[in-house]
Chains A and B, each alone.
Chain A
Amino acid sequence: MKELVIVSGKGGTGKTSLTAAFAGLSDRAVLCDADVDASNLHLIMNPQVQNQFDFLSGHSAVIDPQRCSQCGACIDLCQWDAIDNDFAVNDLQCEGCGVCVHLCPENAIDFPINKAGDWYISDTRFGKMVHAALGIAEESSGKLVTRVRKEAKRIAEADRSDLILTDGPPGIGCPVIASIGGASALLVVTEPTMSGWHDAKRMLSLANRFGATCMLAINKFDLNLEQSAIIEKNAEERNVAVVGKLPFDPLFNKAMMQGKTIFEYNGYSTTCSQVEQLWNRITDKLGL
Chain B
Amino acid sequence: MIIGVASGKGGTGKTTIATNLVAAVESDVRLLDCDVEEPNAHLFLKPEIIETRAVGTFVPEIDIERCNFCGDCVDLCQFRAIVLLKDDVLTFPELCHSCRGCQEICSQNAVKDSSRELGTIRIGRKNGIAFTEGRMNVGEAMAPPLIRAVKQTEAACDTTVIDAPPGTSCPMIASVMGSDFILLVTEPTPFGLHDLQLAVETVKRLSIPCGIVVNRFDEGDDGVFTLAENENIPVLLKIPFDKKIAETYSKGRLLVEENPSWRKPFAEMHRRIENIVKGNRA
Q: Which residues does A use to contact B, with CB under 8 Å?
A: 9-13, 16, 37-38, 40, 43, 58-59, 77, 79, 92-93, 95-99, 102-103, 134, 136-139, 141-142, 169-177, 191-196, 198-199, 202, 205-206, 209-210, 223-224, 227, 248, 250, 253, 256-257, 259
Contacts and interface: CB of A to CB of B under 8 A. Distances in A.
B195 interface: yes
Given A99-B100, A142-B141, A174-B143, 16 more contacts: A10-B40, A38-B9, A43-B194, A137-B170, A170-B166, A173-B37, A177-B139, A191-B250, A193-B250, A195-B15, A198-B40, A198-B43, A199-B38, A206-B138, A209-B138, A248-B246
Nearest to B100: A79
Interface string B232-248: 00000000000100110
A205 B138 contact: yes
Interface string B67-96: 000000001101100000000000000000
B225 interface: no
Nearest to A17: B191
Ordered nearest first, which 9 A-B pairs have the shortest CB separation? A11-B10, A12-B11, A97-B99, A194-B252, A99-B101, A171-B37, A224-B250, A174-B141, A193-B250
Give the most central of A12, A95, A209, A223: most B CB within 10 Å.
A12
Given A171-B166, A257-B189, A12 B195 contact: no
B168 A38 contact: yes
A137 B202 contact: yes
Interface string B25-63: 000000000000110100100000000000000000000
Contacts, number: 177
Given A95-B97, A136-B202, A223 B250 contact: yes
A169 B143 CA distance: 15
Contacts of A173: 37, 136, 140-143, 171
A17 B136 CA distance: 28
Give the most central of B75, B76, B100, B191: most A CB within 10 Å.
B191
Contact of A136 (B37, B136, B205): B205
A239 to B, nearest CB: 18
Nearest to A141: B169
A139 B38 contact: no
11 contacts: A38-B195, A77-B100, A92-B177, A97-B97, A99-B99, A170-B166, A171-B38, A171-B167, A195-B40, A202-B138, A227-B250
Contacts of A97: 78-79, 97, 99, 101
B105 interface: yes
B43 A194 contact: yes
Nearest to A259: B190
A134 B8 CA distance: 13
A11 B9 contact: yes
B195 A257 contact: no
Nearest to B252: A194
A193 B99 contact: no
Given A13-B11, A193-B249, A194-B43, A79 B99 contact: yes
Given A173-B140, A224-B251, A250 B202 contact: no
Nearest to A171: B37
A137 B168 contact: yes
Contacts of B249: 193, 195
B219 interface: yes
B277 interface: no
B177 A93 contact: yes
